[in-house]
Amino acid sequence: MAESNVIDGRAIAEQIHADTRVRIAALKARGIEPGLAFVRVGEDPASRVYVGMKERMSGQLGIRSETRVLAENATEEELLALVGRLNAEARVHGILIQAPLPRGIRAARVYAAVLPEKDVDGFHPVNVGKLLLGDPGGFAPCTPAGIRELLVRSGVPTEGAEVVILGRGDIVGKPMAAMLCQKAPHANATVTLCHSRTRDLAAHCRRADILIAAMGQPRFVKADMVKPGAVVIDVGVNRVPDASAKGGSRLVGDVDFASVQPVAGRITPNPGGVGPMTIALLMQNTVRAAERAAGAG
């Protein structure tokens, strides 16, 4: 198929940013500046890049952002103390703990320490519970929420659709399944959650009307695993060697785009698909947190 079957995540993210800018302007007219705090532990190169991208978008939209960096050898207690200080800061409406965290720090404990009303990443147990219960009052994790927006704004129907998700992680796979199986608009799908122990994985993939790859395996999904006309969403971010690239490596997705695109009905590119949507939903969640705080005040 031609380029027309590519879902442009950057363009759809810009639609969301346009709405977010309007909401930020309304808050600033009331004297409220949305604030987002990033917490990074250590100097992981990828983490530095990801936080930098989020900082830049915050600045472009008019969200005040700050980044707190702890040393690689910081203790869990030091990180929890920092989270506690950010929880107490009225001008901080959202807190994002950049993953991965160093060994020795229990991520679940750290995520649970962020106040649910500032948990714009959607990882606090209260927000996870609300997602599972179909309660829209919580914050949903940004990547699955971004994928849902991609589907909605691209006119992809989910009601009654066979959705196959590759990967059962807490950040994408599980929450994505929870979103799409709800008895709610833009959901009502029949969801299969596949993982490393799934038997005959390719057969499950070939049943999918919507195939979401989030397993962290470079170019894992091949053309013969995709039902003709299926919608393919590539979440993977994998660094692979490439002698022709600057630095000797480059990023690829979990889908072998070149072979799958001619088979798929719609497909996200990588980069330029899911990534921009994740950031757009993070910004949207932050503004929503600021609106709530203002309403409570």
Which are the catalytic amino acids?
Answer: 54, 98, 121
Of the candidates 276, 289, 297, the residue with the CA atom closest to the CA atom of residue 24: 289
HSE, side-chain direction, 13 A CA sphere, residue 179 = 28
Q: Which residues contact 272 (CB under 8 A, 6 or more apart)?
A: 8, 9, 10
69: β partners: 40
Give the distance from CA 64 to its chain's centroid: 21
Joined together, the tokens standing for residue 265 give 């009905």
Give the amino acid at 68. Answer: R
Of the candidates 54, 115, 105, 58, the residue with the CA atom closest to the CA atom of residue 79: 105
CA distance 208 to 223: 13
3-state SS record for 58-95: HHHHCCEEEEEEECCCCCHHHHHHHHHHHHHCCCCCEE
How far CA 97 is from CA of 124, 137, 213, 229, in Å, comes to 11, 21, 24, 38
